[in-house]
Amino acid sequence: MEAQRLYFKLSSTIPTSQIQYQRTPFIQILHKASTNNNITLKGSFLKPHVSFDPKVLKCTNCLQRIEREVAIIQLRKKKIAVFVSGSGSNFRSIYEATLEGIVHGEVAVLVTNKDDCGGAKYAREQDIPVILFPKAKNSSVGLSEEDLVDALRAFNIDFILLAGYLKLIPTELVRAFPRSIFNIHPSLLPAFGGKGYYGIKVHKAVIDSGARYSGPTIHHVDEHYDTGRILAQGVVPVLANDTAETLAARVLHEEHKLYVEVAAALCEERIVWREDGVPLIRSKEDPDHYK
């Protein structure tokens, strides 16, 4: 009931005390609406000042949708570590989605191998802790593999999201966070993936191959480059007059949308693993449907 008190305000003849203290589920309270013609419901997932006829609220689909949203609110917010090596545009998209409530989690720490990259600078501007990994050669700055695992555990990290991080993830980290590390790659894996395929090189290879479609892939991270099981993909066309730069911009736009969707699914505990180790996303609207 605490979540209901924090996230909902009702303006009607329903007493506020009913929502805050009664054991009657919130959905059932709506069924008991009084003789008023309309109920105005304000909440984090409904547009403010939208009026609903009580008869409409009895619609099974409406009630099920509200029940799902209440269940998400009651989940513990997941803590995310994001790894970057460059500008961190995907990191920014995920972080902004957490602030807007689209992703039910928080970015607790940023890890980078380039202390002066755009992603690290942005993180510091937002007061997000920044960790340098791996330790540079002949330098005392940065963490070892063991220290990184300890640091992430100290932050109580639930998920690690690689967003343009160019270093191979060490086996020790993969084993310490099983089924919890994911990466985004700017091609439709398994094509154009592996060591050496990153950034603009990927898009140039796609165009040179004559492929008609490209797009980002989000996959589970194992001990190798781009070989983990695929979780989600987005598809964009490769146009006849595309350059590597124009294709990269189109794919990046799709990356931002796809990674936010996946981050939301992770934080809402909607990732289901098949017996063969392939991760699937359970639909938010229809729990019996998988993407």
**Catalytic positions:** 185
User: Hey, which residues does 81 pair with through a beta bridge?
Assistant: 109, 160
Two tokens at 39? 């109920």
100: Cβ–Cβ under 8 A, 6 or more apart, which residues? none
Q: How many CB atoms lie within 10 A of CB 45?
A: 15
For 197-204, the CB contacts below 8 A with 24+ separation are 197/225, 197/226, 198/166, 199/248, 200/244, 200/245, 200/248, 203/244, 203/245, 203/247, 203/248, 203/251, 204/244
255: Cβ–Cβ under 8 A, 6 or more apart, which residues? 90, 184, 186, 216, 234
Q: What is the largest CA-CA distance in the chain?
A: 76
3 state SS for 227-267: CCCEEEECCEECCCCCCHHHHHHHHHHHHHHHHHHHHHHHH
- How many Cα atoms within 13 Å fall on the side-chain side of residue 131? 20
Two tokens at 120? 């690290």
Radius of gyration of the chain (CA): 22
Q: How many CB atoms lie within 10 A of CB 178?
A: 8
Residue carrying the six token digits 């609207």:
285
CB 123 within 8 A of CB 96: no
